[in-house]
Each structure stands twice: as structure tokens, then as C-alpha cells.
Structure 1
Amino acid sequence: MKWVTLRELLAFDEGGILRLLLAPSGQDIRLEGVIIGDEGPERSCAGRIVLATGITIHEAARRDAAAVVVRGGGDEVPEDVLTTADQYGIALLARSEWADWDDVATLLRSAIAYAEAGRGDRMADAMAGGGLAALASVVADFTGGSITIEDTQFRVLAHSATGPEADELRRSTILSGKVPDWRVEELRRSGLLRTLWSSNEVIHRPADGDTPERLIIAIRSGREMLGSIWAAADGRDLTANAANALSRAAEVAVPYLLQHRLRESGARRREEHALRGLLSGEGEMSTHAWSLGLSPDVRCAVVVAEHDGQAGAAAERVMGALALQAASYRTSVRVLRESARVVALLPLADGDERDALGLARELDVLAASTQGAGPVWVGAGSAAPSPLLASASRAEAGLVVRVLRERGGLEEGARRHAAAAELWSALDVLRVLDAVRPVWEHGSGPIHDLVRTDLEAGGELVRSIAAYLDAAGDVTAAAQRLVLHPNTLRYRLRRARERFGVDLDDPDTRLMISLAVRLVERP
């Protein structure tokens, strides 16, 4: 029977996916599997850890669950949940705010596999507690070769000691922490990688010139490829049992590579969660900044690049390129990629907010050089004195994008990037309109009647009034703009007064109808 103790589970959880709230029966209880939510009213939960999705703590307790994981986040766990868990002797854990249920399920299954790998044979016993580094050393003893353990991106996760006879390729791989690109391409052309990814067997590569004999095996969890183990005969022959030892090592390595993947995935998810929190102003700002490695007293600004979302694959390609460009602008930049938007949090060099405009300009140039991608607008928000206040710069950068989009449209040569300081009056207008919109949408009266009725008929009267107000009441200038005779415009304005009771000579009426026209022009 496969099982893991609560203590082993918590030790395995290096990424902090779970938080222990209560363990009334101690941390040495056995967890013999995972049940996700309510898998049927008759399903026993005896000895299992239950993920509380669609099942209550009371129901899990009634079915003899050993432990329950509840949703984490900012809200405190209800007192009755804690009381029930304590009463029934159930361990209670909370899921971290940034994690989802898939993360928790993967963690639990990986921890059980990890615990099983550490029980029951000489290889597992020899490396107990030492991780992948110990595994590499033990496998070197079993095979008589030099060992590297790599992930699917050919990064070296662990290696055995390197002797004086080691070939140059092994030395450079270990020193750089990654198989050289030229070597990966060579393996791809030769077909070795295709064989490796599709085989469960040990692959033998005979010695060739300066390249020693090698044995290679893929590390898999079911059908999922996790990495590979390479054994090189550096200065001595591989043992007769080397292939069998390598096969067993691939089995033992599975939970360690799953843990590595969880750790990497968890780090990315935590960073993304923290960045979203800083940019939206939600959650504990200091914790978010700490998670991103940002000092709370560094000045920063936010740059937003936004696509119109209409160009399909080309848009996806250009937004991916913009995200990479933003991330490479400086190592301290933090980038959030969304479907049609890239948001970059930029710590400012020497506190100079022109730095943000420089990034915006680079993104604009890159987007404009991508054929068929469609328009991209890039806005730089004003500098914030701290990443804890980055949400204000993020909101401002979004307003800049809106102004550029409305002003430029698809016109040839239209400006596609700007900083907030260049558009301050237009940004203030947007802020006012955003604040007024809920009042307008829930209001009533003559102006509402005029706008609503005329828009349903095509909007001729609204457009005429808008031109009249934009011309500061100059009928002749407004009529020229509309390509009308002045008397035609006077007739329309008179009709607004007679039919709807709207007096355009009244300052308050002019203000309200100006706002109304702006609001209907910006849905």
C-alpha cells in the first residue's frame, strides 16, 4: 500500500503550497491517497486526504477522512471548521492563495511517490535523504560511470563527481549547468532525442573518437516526460549491470523531478500572483514586493502594451515577442502576459521616469516591425515612489493606452506610444468620465431622453449638438464641420429645445450634454 505521513508531506512541500492549521492526532498519521471533492456519497475517505471542493468538513469527517485541505486566501478559516476537525481528530490544511486544486493534487501524489521511492531497495536506502545529488553519486557507484541528471530543457539538476578523465563536453555541461545548444541540435539531428523521448529502454551509445561510451534513459511519470539520466564511461568501463541500475535510477528519480517541477511551477505562480497583487493594489503589498525581490523604497513605473485582439496568430506572436523584449530590457523588470496585453513593472534606473518611456518606445518599434500583427498601443504610467504603490502607475498606463487608441485609430502615422506626463489633460478627462458614467447610466430627464431617442434614430441630432458645443457655440464653424447650411443646424438646435426641453443657452445643460455626448462616444 502506498502512503505518506503528514510530516513527510509537509517536508516534501518545499514550495509552500499547503499550510498546516491543525493536527490533533499528530504529524505521523498515514495518508493513503487523495480524494478530490465529493466522489460519491458511499465513497469511504478512510485514511485519505480530502480536497474540500464540493464536500464539507462534516461530511469528510463522517466518512473517516484522515486530513482535509480547505481553500486558503485572505479569509480566516471558520471557527466551526476548526472545531469539527479537532473534535474528529482530522488534520486540517489550507491551500495557499496563489495555488489551485491541481497544484495540491499533484503535490500529494508526488509526495506519496517520493515516500515510496525512499523505501525498500539498496539504491533508495543508499541515497535516503540526499536528493538528486545523492542519487547521481549512488548511480555512479552502481554503473561505474559519470552521471548527469537533466530536465527536459537539458539543464543539469545533479551530477556525480567529475574525474580527471572526464571529456570536455561533460566538463562544459557541468560548468554551465546546461547542455550546449550545439550539442542539443546535434542530438536532435541524429534522431537520438526522438528515440529518447519515445522509449522506456536504456539507450546505448558506443564510444566515438573523443566521446566515451554512454548510456541514457528517459525519466517518466506515466506518459509525462520529466528528464533524463546520462551515464558516461569516463576512463573506465561501465559495469555489466549498468543498464539495470540506470533503469531503477529512472524510477527512483521520478518524485525528485516532480518536486523540481512543482518547485519551479510554484515559484512562477507565486511571482505571478504577487505581480497581479501589486498591479491591482490587492492583498498584502509588502509580501507581494518581497516575493518579487523588490525593495519597498525603489521608484518604479508600469508600462502597458495592448493589442486590438483582432489579428489571431499574428497578434499572439507579437505579444509574445513584446513580453520577451520587456523582460530582457533589464533583469529587474517583472512582466505579466495576458491575452492581448503585456504589463511590465519597471524599477527605474536612478529613479528617472524617462526610463519607462524608453521601454514603451522599444515595444512600439518592435510591434510596428512585425508584419500583419495589427496595431499595438503602449502607455507608460508616472513613476511611483514604491512598488507598493504601483497600482496607480498601472491604472495611468491603461488610461494612456485608451487615449492613444481613441486618438489614433488605424490612421497611417498615428502615434502608438506615450507617457502619462504628455497626455495629462486627456487622462483627467477620462478619469472624470469614468467617475460620471455610473451617474449617467442610472439617471433620467430631458437630456437622457434626447440622447437615447436620437441615438436610436441614427444620432444626427447628437452629432450636431456635439459639433455646436465643440465650436463654443459658433453656428457657422459647427455647420462647416458638419458640412451643413447654418440654418439647417439652427433648425436642429431649435428642435432639441422644442421637442425635448433642452436649453443649450443654460451653462448646466451645456455641461451635462457635453458629458453625455462624450460618454456615448466612449462606450
Structure 2
Amino acid sequence: MTKRGQITLRELLAFDEGGVLRLLLAPSGQDVRVTGMIIGDEGPARSYAGRIVLAAGLFHSTGAATASIREAARRGAAAVVVRAGEDLAADALDVAEQGGIALLARAEWADWDDVATMLRSAAAYGEAGRGDRMAEATAGGGLAALASVVAEFTGGSITIEDTQFRVLAHSATGPEADELRRSTILGGRVPDWRVEELRRSGLLRTLWSSGEVIHRPADESTPERLIIAIRSGREMLGSIWAAADGRSLTPNAASALSRAAEVAVPYLVQHRLRESGARRREEHALRGLLAGEGDLSTHAWTLGLPPDLRCAVVLAETGPDAPAPGEGAAARGSAAERVLEVLALHAASYRPGVLVLRETGRVAALVPVRGGDERDVLGLARELDALAAATPGAAPVWVGAGAVAPSPAAASGSREEADLVVRVLRARDGGPRHALAADLGPALDVLRVLDAVRPVWERGSGPVYDLVRTDLAAGGELVRSIAAYLDAAGDVGRAARRLVLHPNTLRYRLRRARERFGVDLDDPDTRLLLTLAVRLAT
């Protein structure tokens, strides 16, 4: 057991169930004592002895992280935490080894706030098992041990719940337990009807706003109960409920419950960190998989996806809301985000195994295709389109489905196609708002070609460039006329009808392109360059 106010590196890593930190090196072993935390360089007046230094804001490639490790070792720090990445200088491990200082890496999905919160909570967790009989009896046994100990101290049946009314731990349930307790424990959470009843009665409002033990007298259906909120500062973490099932609560039950709420804090924080870490790891893995970045096999493993799972990506993207009278841009933006939230929930429930990534202005869903018609993926796209269209006042939404990929490692190709589908649909004003990649023919390849030649066009010069840039600056009348002429395969009459012009007016404009800019529309290379230029410009 370490001294009061301290925790060993081994205990800290054991507390970190969410995997916020990864141990790279511990030349002095894992039983070194950690006495606190320092973020960055807090100046020469601050003691580093026994502390963990967070190398926040330092980039490996500059050598700053290595310098920070060397300085931390010189000043007696227990460990240094660097950000994750493959660009850590080769000599960083050597410097840590020579200095006898532990080196840890922050997980890619985590940020420095996650690290700081975890370290503070680990210290509090270490303290939770010291100080009095309740704390010492709980140490090492977690919330289940705490529930049993509190039951002994209060004489009641105990449940410990999080803020979503899920049961995290409970004491033994005797034959006298009321039906509500039994259903809550069996279901793993407080029944919805009970939560609504507590909300209507005002008890939840009192619980969330009070730091005192709340007494709820027995009634016809439930026994006497004592309840207290579990808080870390102002943050609400959960609650402890003590029910007098078949026997009276002890005279000191309220004070015992108050102490239990203090002891429970680090355990509830650990639970929250574990859940938050799992969600963020999965989000990081899904984002990497869809972007084709990082270790794709590891991303798939993190998400529980078999390496041979056929899958496709469905992408829903919102456009700007139609402005309502007196409505500001912020309100329109929030309406767009609300409809995307609804689409994200619908996509997640479309079928088992669908993974959803929410991004600003869009929702991406990775859909398993385990058999049957590959066009079944279109079903989700169709449903998302219909749902968005049925939402009052919602912004327009375009939904694209990429081709089925042979494995999760190839999902980025399907994501790229889904993105191209959305771009094509957006450009076709008034057309359908959902489609499969296979339904759009060469339109996707045209977009790929345009994306590829855009950098070349932006660096170019010559008569065609002068025409397009000059005319667009003046309103683009000539560019639109040439675009219509090229789309009509050189048929002046058809192009003029599309532009609602007299054919002679269009002929005049085309002649002006030759006379003013030296652009010969009879030359095939010029026509090709102009075709690309007007497509890029319009």
C-alpha cells in the first residue's frame, strides 16, 4: 500500500481500463510512486518529484518531446506522457531509459483533458480505499463491494445507478424485496414508467439539485427509501438507493449513505471514463476505416468486424435550410443538425451491425452486406431520403450509397463513391435525392477526372484560361453560352433553345470568343480544354 495521497504507476495503469495511456517504457519498474501531475512546463519553482508530466503541445518531430523527457528526468519526475504517433524521435526512448523515467503514450482517440481526468480519478480511486472502515472494506472490490458494505451499514437493500438509471451494482436481494427492486435488477435499469413517475413527482429534480440524503416514506407498493446523489464537484455521476426491504433502516443509515456517496465517486468516474473511452475508440476506428487512414486491420478489429465482411457506405448530407421569415442562420443550422441526428438514429437501427459516424453536415453509415441483393443497401438510402423529406422545415438532404466493398479494409472506396454520388445529386437540381453509385453511370468517373485535372487547370495559362477567368469575373454569360454549345455537340439551334436565345445571338457570342480571346471552337483540343474548363467553373 502506498502512502496517503499517492498511487503507484502499476495501480494507475490498472485503473485505466479505458486505455487512455499505453506504457512504452518503465526503466525503474511500475512500483514507482506518483504524487501528482504537471501539464507542460510549469516553471522551475514547481517540484517535479514523483509527478507525471504531460508533454502537451509538444510535437515529436521538433525534438521538443525528447527535450521535455530529459528535463523531467533531471527534475525527478516519475513519468512523461507524450501524444501517440509514429514520429516520436528515436532517441526519446534512450533518453527515458538513461534518465530512469517511465514513458507513456496518449491514445490516438484521447485528448489531454482525458489524460488529466483519468490521472486525477486514479488518485481519487487510490484514496477511496483508505481512511475509514467503509472505504477500506470497499478497496479492491469496486462498486459491488461498496453496495454490500453500504447494505451492512444502513440495514437496507442497495442499488447504485448511473445518470441513465442503469444499475451498476446492487447488494444481495432477499425474499422480502419489493417487485420494483426485482424488476430493476433483472432489467439492469430502472423501468421507464418508474423514471417518469419520479420525474413527475419532482423527486429527480430534488435529487439532482441536492447534496443531502433524501427520505422517501413507504407507501402501499414500495418500502421506505433513502437516496443520495453521487457528485464529483458539480458533475452528477449517479445515485445510491437504500430500500428497507422487510426490516428497518439503521439509525445511522443517512450518514452511512453520505459517506458511501463520497467513496463511490472514483468508481463512478472510472465507469464513465471506461464508457467514454470505448465510444471514442470506436469512433476513431470508424473514422479511420472510412477515410482509409491508419492501421485498417486494427480499426476493423476494434469495431468487431470480420476481415471478410462485405459492406457498403451510405452517406447523407444536408444542404442549407430554406430561410423562414425572421429566422437566423444559427437557427437554420441547428435545424439541419437536428434532422441529421434523426437520420443517424434511424441508420443505426436499420439492421444489426450498422455503424454510424456523425460529422458536421453529414452522416455516414457502414452497412454490413451478409448476403442477398447488393441493392438492398439502397433500402437504407431510400428510407433516409423519405425520413428527411417528411421532417417539417428540414433542410434538403441528399443520400448516396457506394458500391459494396469486399472487406472493411476497403470501406474507404465505398465511402468515396458515396460522396461522389451525393455531389452528383446536388448538382442535378430538382432531380432525385438518393441513388446507388451503380445507377449514375459515367457521372462519377467524370467527377473523378475533374478532381484530378483541377490542380492542372488552376496552374494553367493561355487563351482558354483568359476567356474563362475574364468572363466569370464579368458574370459568366459567355462561359454559360459555350457550355450549352458544347453540351449540344455543336448544334447552335438546340443550344440556343436551352439558353432561350436567338441562334444568331449565340453565334455572335461564339464569334466573340474567337475574335477577343483567340479561342478556336473548331479545334478538338480546344473544345476538350473548354469542356473541362466550363465544367470546373460552373
TM-score higher than 0.5: yes
Matched residue, 2:258: 247
- Once the two structures are TM-superposed, the CA of residue 346 in structure 1 deviates from its matched residue by 0.4
Aligned pair 1:417/2:434, yes or no? yes
Residue 505 of structure 1 and its aligned partner are, at CA, apart by: 0.8
Deviates more, 1:260-269 or 1:420-429: 420-429
- 2:445 corresponds to 1:428: yes
Distance in 2, matches of 1:289 and 1:462, equals 47
SS state of the match for residue 216, structure 1? strand
Partner residue, 1:113: 124
Q: Distance in 1 between matches of 2:365 and 2:154?
A: 49
Report the Cα offset of residue 282 of structure 1: 0.4
1:12 is aligned to 2:15: yes
Residue 444 (structure 1) aligned with residue 461 (structure 2):
yes
In structure 2, the residue corresponding to 1:312 is in which secondary structure? helix
In structure 1, how many angstroms separate the alpha carbons of the residues matched to 2:443 and 2:258?
Answer: 67
Give secondary structure in 1 for the equivalent of 2:371: helix
Shift of the 352–299 alpha-carbon distance from structure 1 to 2, 3 Å rule, reads farther
Distance 2:209 2:368 in 1: 45
Structure 2 unaligned runs (5+)?
A: 59-67, 322-331
Q: 1:333 aligns to what? A: 354
Task: State the alpha-carbon separation in 1 of the partners of residues 362 and 372 from structure 2.
Answer: 25
Note the 1:263-302 alignment, pairs <5 A. Answer: 263-302=274-313
Please state if 1:92 is matched with 2:103: yes
For 1:433 and 1:292, how far apart are their aligned partners in 2? Answer: 35
**Is 1:350 the counterpart of 2:371 in the alignment?**
yes
Aligned residue number for residue 397 of structure 1: 418
Q: Secondary structure at the match of 1:458?
A: coil
Alignment match, 1:318: 339
Match of 1:149 in 2: 160
In the alignment, does 2:5 pair up with 1:2? yes
Q: Is the contact made by 2:285 and 2:303 (CA closer than 8 Å) also made in structure 1?
A: yes
Q: Aligned letter for 1:396?
A: E
Distance in 2, Cα, partners of 1:33 & 1:287: 33
Would you say the 8 A contact 1:146–1:231 is kept in 2?
A: yes
Q: Distance in 2 between matches of 1:488 and 1:43?
A: 80
Mapped pair 1:21 → 2:21: no
Q: Quick check: 1:502–1:509 contact (8 Å CA) kept in 2? A: yes
CA 1:118–1:416: 2 relative to 1, 3 Å: same
**1:147-186 alignment, distance < 5 Å:** 147-186=158-197
Deviations 1:53-73 (A, max 9, x none): 146223323433221100113
- Mapped partners of 2:57, 2:467: distance in 1: 51
2:79 alignment counterpart: 67
Helix, strand or coil at the partner of 2:306: coil
| Structure 2 contact 213–254 (Cα < 8 Å) conserved | yes
Instruction: Write the distance in 1 (CA, Å) between the matches of 2:196 and 2:536.
Output: 57
CA distance in 1, matches of 2:208, 2:194: 16
Give the residue type in structure 2 aligned to 1:483.
V
Report the secondary structure of 2:441's partner residue.
helix
**Alignment-mate amino acid for residue 477 of structure 1:** R
Tell me how far 1:352 sits from its aligned partner.
3.1
Task: Give 1:243 shift.
Answer: 1.2
Aligned residue in 1 for 2:151: 140
| CA 1:351–1:386: 2 relative to 1, 3 Å | farther
Aligned partner of residue 428 in structure 2, secondary structure: helix
Following TM superposition, by how much is the alpha carbon of 1:241 offset from its aligned partner in structure 2, in angstroms?
Answer: 1.5
**Equivalent residue number for residue 508 of structure 2:** 491
Q: Is the 8 A contact 2:320 2:396 kept in 1?
A: no
Pairwise CA RMSD of aligned residues?
1.3
Equivalent of 2:239 in 216, 228, 247: 228
Q: CA deviation at 1:223?
A: 0.8
Secondary structure at the counterpart of residue 230 of structure 1: strand
- 8 Å Cα contact 2:129/2:137 also seen in 1: no
What is the CA–CA distance in structure 2 between the aligned matches of 1:190 and 1:491, rounded to whole Å? 80
> Match of 1:45?
48
2:70, 2:99 within 8 Å by CA — same for their partners in 1? no
SS at match of 2:442: helix
Structure 1: runs of 5+ lacking an equivalent: none
Cα offsets for 1:303-325 (capped at 9, x unmatched): 00000144322212111100000
CA distance in 2, matches of 1:210, 1:463: 77
**How far, CA to CA, are the matches of 2:69 and 2:257 in structure 1?**
45
When normalised by structure 1's length, the TM-score is 0.96
Q: Distance in 1 between matches of 2:350 and 2:145?
A: 39
Shift of 1:351: 5.1
Distance 2:91 2:533 in 1: 52
1:478 to 492, 495, 498: 495
For the Cα contact (< 8 Å) 1:38–1:54, is it kept in 2?
no
Shift of 1:362: 0.7
Q: Residue 20 of structure 2 aligns to which amino acid in structure 1?
A: I
Structure 1 residue 364 and structure 2 residue 385: aligned? yes
More deviation in 265-274 or 88-97? 88-97
The correspondence for 2:226, drawn from 215, 225, 231, is 215
Query: What is the aligned residue count?
Result: 516
Question: 2:496 and 2:259 mapped to 1: Cα distance?
Answer: 86
- Supply the AA of the counterpart residue of 1:172: S
